[in-house]
C-alpha cells in the first residue's frame, strides 16, 4: 500500500525541509485511487501548535484555491457568498485563501473508532 501511494516521494521532499527548517510537515489524505497520499506542506504556509510536552496538537494551514476547486471539495452550499458568486458567473479560476484547521477534540469518546 505504501508503494502505491506517494509516501516515499513525500518523505524525500521532507528531508530537505529538515535540514533547512528543522522540521517537515505533511498531511495524510484519502485518495480514491491509491487509498491515501501525503500532501507535503510548504514552510510559511502552515503553523503548528504544541502542548507542554512538545507534541504537535494543532495545525493551521493556508491554501490558495480556485473557486472551482473549493466548490468541488466542499460543495456549493458550504461555500461563502463570494465563492458562490464567482462560480455562478463562470469565473472558476478566481482564487481564494482557504484556512484549514486541525485541532484536538477534547470532548471525545476514546472507545469509539473514528472514520
> Which pLDDT score is estimated for 6?
84
Q: Are 101 and 60 in contact (CB under 8 A)?
A: yes
The stretches of 31-110 forming alpha helices (DSSP H) are 67-74, 81-88
Angle, alpha carbons 69-72-75 (nearest 5°):
125
Please name the residues in contact with 56: beta carbons below 8 A apart, sequence gap of 6 or more: 48, 49, 50
Give the pLDDT of the chain (115 residues) as one tens digit per residue: 787 788 888 888 888 777 778 788 889 888 888 889 888 898 888 999 999 999 999 999 999 999 999 999 999 999 999 999 999 999 999 999 999 999 998 887 878 876 5
Q: Are 29 and 39 in contact (CB under 8 A)?
A: yes
> Which pLDDT score is estimated for 16?
78
All three cell numbers of 88, joined, read 455562478
> Which pLDDT score is estimated for 115?
58
Check: pTM over 0.85? Answer yes or no: no
Instruction: Name the one residue in this structure whose C-alpha cell is 522540521.
Output: 23
> Which pLDDT score is estimated for 69?
96
Distance of CA 42 to CAs 10, 20, 73, Å?
12, 12, 20
Amino acid at each position: 500500500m505504501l508503494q502505491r501511494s506517494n509516501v516515499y516521494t513525500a518523505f524525500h521532499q521532507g528531508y530537505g525541509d529538515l535540514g533547512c527548517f528543522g522540521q517537515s510537515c505533511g498531511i495524510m489524505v484519502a485518495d480514491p485511487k491509491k487509498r491515501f497520499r501525503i500532501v507535503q506542506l510548504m514552510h510559511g504556509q502552515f503553523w503548528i501548535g504544541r502542548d507542554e510536552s512538545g507534541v504537535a496538537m494543532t495545525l493551521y494551514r493556508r491554501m490558495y484555491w480556485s473557486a472551482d476547486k473549493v466548490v468541488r471539495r466542499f460543495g456549493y452550499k458550504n461555500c461563502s457568498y463570494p465563492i458562490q458568486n464567482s462560480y455562478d458567473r463562470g469565473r472558476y479560476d478566481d482564487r481564494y485563501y482557504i484556512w484549514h484547521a486541525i485541532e484536538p477534540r477534547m470532548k471525545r469518546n476514546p472507545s469509539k473508532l473514528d472514520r
